[in-house]
Structure 1
Amino acid sequence: MINMKKILLFLLIFSLSEMALARVDITKPPEDSVDAENLRIWIPIEKSSSCRVIIDILDQKGKIVRQLANRLLGKGYYNYYWDKRDDNGKFVEPGKYKYKASGRIVNREGEVKVVYKEWERKCNIGLIDIKKSNQLFVELKDDSALVSIDVLKFNGELVDKPVIDSVMNKGYHTFVWQPEDHVLTGRYKAKVMVGDYQQTFIVWRIR
């Protein structure tokens, strides 16, 4: 007999993975400059006509681990950056991978390299709700993580340090940025640092 609960649970997990992958901006370079160079895929479209381009990431055995893009591109030069995840949203093993970009007027192959920082695969960082973008979460998969959060203006000026070198253990941690009254309404950058890994998010000061 078919277990509908298991099927529904699988579909939910699959949908969440798809949503997570869809939110990744593969045209935005990683904050780490080494990652940005290791994971960059450059696509030139030098003819005036548009072309559908498919970018696949393959392991050393030639197996496709991720279809990074399937897009209609016009004339121009494009950079794409792999987020080190497979089609199921899971981090791949470190090492060298191949990419293949194919289309009617595009045929490029090359190599990308996956290197991880110590805490990169041991934490998830993000906004709890994009509609309430002053709320962040840090999910830790191991103990004794040194966590800090800096809030900055877009020119890099420090506005607030709501979390300073706090040692946190395995689990799900939430943070709500509640700035002092003198902080103006508007958008800011929240830099979340977990050990040697960091990510930056847009947060709002709403009165």
Structure 2
Amino acid sequence: MFHVPDPGPDDDDLVAVGGALDPGTILHAYCRGLFPMHLPEGLLGWWSPVERAVLPLDGLRITRSMRQSARRYRVTVDADFGGVIHGCADPSRPHGWIKDEVIEAYTRLHRMGWAHSVEVWDDEGTLAGGLYGVAIGGLFVGESMFHRKRDASKVALIHLVVLMNEGGGRLLDVQWQTSHLESLGAVVIGRDEYLRLLPEALSVPGPFRRPAG
């Protein structure tokens, strides 16, 4: 297993380079406030943003159109992880970073009970959007979301927030801030604050239960 270092006070967003996407290394990284993402040249980077985006579980902004959209869709959890991660990996999407190696690694984590998906289905039973990420205790790290129909990814996020609130979730990490996430209520906190919140989130059961054995 690649040794993922703890982020230091002088580190930039990129803390380490190297290793492989094996389950032990990935989970070890999340527990120390890092996540994997390849650099443009193909090397595997381990990141801990100095400014970390999180979505407060009482801070999701739900517009009237989002509420209307939510009534049009059916939502499931862990019903089609493969469909969701492949939807997120669609090569036609701009700034795509989810390659075959990433799909394989997170599919393995899903089979082990660590990675989870939220699926949004239209009235014809077609996958309209969704999201996936990794849950460890009361922490959920959102990796990516996608939509093929209006507001479908937002509906997935609404469902995730409800699930976390009802199931004892503590920290919804969305990694880097974007204008889209900010419009939904995501805020930026410093790395020190994130690392302060992380141990408590990891210590509680959270909404996702791993299968026994």
For normalisation by structure 2, the TM-score amounts to 0.24
Q: Which has the bigger relative contact order, CA under 8 A and spacing at least 6? A: 2
Structure number with bigger Rg: 1
> Going by fraction, where is helix more abundant, 1 or 2?
2
For normalisation by structure 1, the TM-score amounts to 0.25
> Going by fraction, where is strand more abundant, 1 or 2?
1
